[in-house]
A and B are shown apart, each in its own frame.
Chain A
Amino acid sequence: MDRIPILRMGKFLLVSIQVDMHDQLAMTLQDDLTSMIERTGARGVLIDISALEMVDSFIGRMIANISGMSRILDAHTVVVGMQPAVAITLVELGLSLPGVKMALNIEKGMAYLRAQRAAEEGDGLNASHHSDDGEAGYGTRQE
């Protein structure tokens, strides 16, 4: 069956949507991502939509769902690279995706996820022992 690949990089999951998705493919991605967050304990999800030439209400809802579900599973989601024409159309369609963190490009998206992670690690340090994976998230180290 068709699937959009999810890459793991340390504590983050990376997805780049490169195809014109039919609805079932979008639903499968949503399910795959949430189960993978749960399985890997990922703390951040980056979704690159720079190749998407259209976001309609169905794909918009999938993006909002992933963002909401990941938050409940203690991970942050950032969506990067939306094309300007897609953004204009989405707002006119009536979807402004409140609560979904957007970033202009992958670098800014990764910076956001790392900052979220660092802030949460900081809290952890104050509360208990010294975390042994303070640098994780910056590399591809396997645990």
Chain B
Amino acid sequence: MALVKSEELPVRLEQDVVVARQAVRRLAVELKFSLVDQTKMVTAASELARNTVVYGGGGTMRCEVLIDGGKSGLRMTFEDQGPGIPDMTLAMKDGWTSGSGLGMGLSGAKRLVNDFDIVSEVGKGTRVTITRWK
């Protein structure tokens, strides 16, 4: 698997969520993702970037363009040094939220991508990685 391109953006403020969405859209268009796949990736990024800001206290988004065999893909990693997630099973449940959201962010984002990985440690932070292949 080859890494073709990598960029990192700060995700600290609400406005950064919009910038993150636009960056993902641009890369998905460059990769010639279908409109539906672009929209899924942008929406998943929006959910996760918001989590980084609201629950993680800010962090970063890294976007990577991958080539694996003949396939190209877009991988995004959201990382924060926030409070972490004490109960992962609960956090991944539809409709459960520790804040004031709908509780669809994590579980919904997972349904919109091909690969989903989350690592969290209480007191240290959270890292969510999603990939969508073309």
Residue of B nearest to A21 (CB): B18
Residues of A within 8 A of B32 (CB): none
What is the interface size of chain A, counting residues whose CB is below 8 A from a CB of the partner?
Answer: 24
Q: How far is the CA of A86 from the CA of B40 in the complex (A)?
A: 8
Main secondary structure of the interface of B (DSSP, over half): helix
B72 at the interface (CB under 8 A from A): no
B105 at the interface (CB under 8 A from A): yes
Q: Total contacts A to B, CB within 8 angstroms?
A: 73
Interface size class of B (residues with CB under 8 A): 20 to 34
B84 at the interface (CB under 8 A from A): no
B121 at the interface (CB under 8 A from A): no
Check B36–A22 contact: CB distance below 8 A.
no
Binary CB contact string for chain A from 4 to 18 against chain B (1 if under 8 A, 0 otherwise): 000000000000000
Residue of A nearest to B34 (CB): A85
B17 at the interface (CB under 8 A from A): yes
Binary CB contact string for chain B from 1 to 19 against chain A (1 if under 8 A, 0 otherwise): 0000000000000110110
Residues of A80-121 whose CB lies within 8 A of B: 83-86, 88-90, 92-95
15 A-B pairs in the complex with CB atoms less than 8 angstroms apart: A22-B17, A22-B18, A23-B14, A53-B25, A53-B42, A54-B43, A57-B101, A85-B36, A85-B38, A88-B39, A89-B40, A89-B112, A92-B108, A93-B104, A94-B104
* B binding-site residues for A, Cβ under 8 Å: 14-15, 17-18, 21-22, 25, 35-36, 38-40, 42-43, 46-47, 50, 94, 101-102, 104-105, 107-109, 111-112
